[in-house]
């Protein structure tokens, strides 16, 4: 906010009344003239009259919803940081995930460690399997980082658990399938495993 705008929004007559009230109160307490305290009183009145600063806006990153190939089947689940995660061993499909399905298009604002889990069929007519991505906002950079489930990333999570770097039970390593693996990665990130380190493990 500019100084001109801030000054224009202050009621000057009310400010002067407040300053003289403060000065007289200080003068009575010190048995002195109010004029001797008007300078200090005016500064205090100005400080009290200035608009309060706007609260900081929580940083977020914009995720663009939608499939890579609109001809293929697919889904997206938006999982907020506050949502508890299921045990990876119990996850066998997208229906076992928390959160809501994202629409076919649009955007979603991701805060904190909010994430989007995405699955998409590899071909719109032939059965060539599915590909899965975990998109998570990295608070260190405010970028959205895509992570695919790999054996190397599972090995990194296992190593971090055994070394005591992250506080997760070894049972989180149980569970087969890429969707369970995405949940495992998100659990490790929430437990403190750096996203950049996980992304570097191909």
Q: Show the tokens assigned to 96.
A: 């076992």
pLDDT at res. 6:
46
pLDDT of residue 130: 95
- Check whether 4 has a pLDDT greater than 60: no
Return the beta strands (E) in 73-173 as ranges: 74-79, 100-101, 106-111, 115-121, 130-138, 143-147
Would you give the DSSP letter of residue 87?
Answer: P
pLDDT digits (tens, 9 = 90+) for 91-110: 999 999 998 898 888 999 99
Mean pLDDT of 48-71: 81
Residue 45: pLDDT band with limits 50, 70, 90:
confident
State the number of CA atoms in the 13 A half-sphere of 178 facing the CB. Answer: 14
Q: In what order do the strands lie in the sheet with 100-101?
A: 100-101, 74-79, 115-121, 130-138, 143-147
Q: How many degrees, rounded to 5, is the angle at CA 28 between CA 24 and CA 33?
A: 65
The radius of gyration of the chain from alpha carbons, rounded to an integer in Å, stands at: 28
Give the list of residues 6+ apart from residue 13 with CB closer than 8 angstroms, or none: none
Q: Of the given ranges (38-47, 93-102, 109-118), which has the lowest mean pLDDT?
A: 38-47
- Is the pLDDT assigned to residue 60 strictly greater than 80? yes
**Burial (0-12, 13-18, 19+ Cβ within 10 Å), 189:** buried
The pLDDT mean for the chain works out to: 88
Q: Residue 171: what pLDDT? A: 95
Q: Cα–Cα distance between 175 and 158 in angstroms, integer?
A: 13
Q: Count other C-beta atoms under 10 Å from residue 40's C-beta.
A: 13
């Amino acid at each position: 906010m500019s100084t001109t705008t801030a000054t224009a929004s202050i009621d000057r007559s009310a400010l002067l009344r407040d300053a003289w009230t403060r000065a007289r109160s200080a003068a009575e307490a010190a048995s002195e003239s109010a004029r001797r305290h008007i300078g200090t009183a005016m500064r205090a009145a100005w400080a009290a009259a200035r608009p309060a600063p706007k609260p900081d806006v929580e940083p977020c990153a914009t995720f663009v919803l939608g499939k890579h190939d609109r001809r293929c089947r697919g889904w997206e689940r938006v999982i907020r940081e506050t949502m508890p995660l299921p045990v990876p061993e119990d996850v066998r499909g997208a229906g076992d995930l928390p959160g809501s399905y994202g629409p076919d298009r649009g955007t979603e604002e991701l805060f904190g460690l909010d994430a989007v889990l995405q699955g998409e069929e590899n071909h719109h007519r032939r059965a060539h399997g599915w590909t899965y991505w975990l998109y998570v906002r990295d608070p260190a950079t405010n970028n959205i980082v895509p992570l695919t489930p790999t054996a190397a990333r599972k090995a990194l999570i296992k190593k971090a658990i055994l070394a005591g770097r992250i506080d997760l039970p070894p049972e989180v390593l149980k569970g087969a399938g890429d969707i369970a693996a995405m949940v495992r990665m998100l659990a490790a990130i929430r437990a403190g495993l750096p996203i950049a380190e996980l992304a570097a493990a191909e």
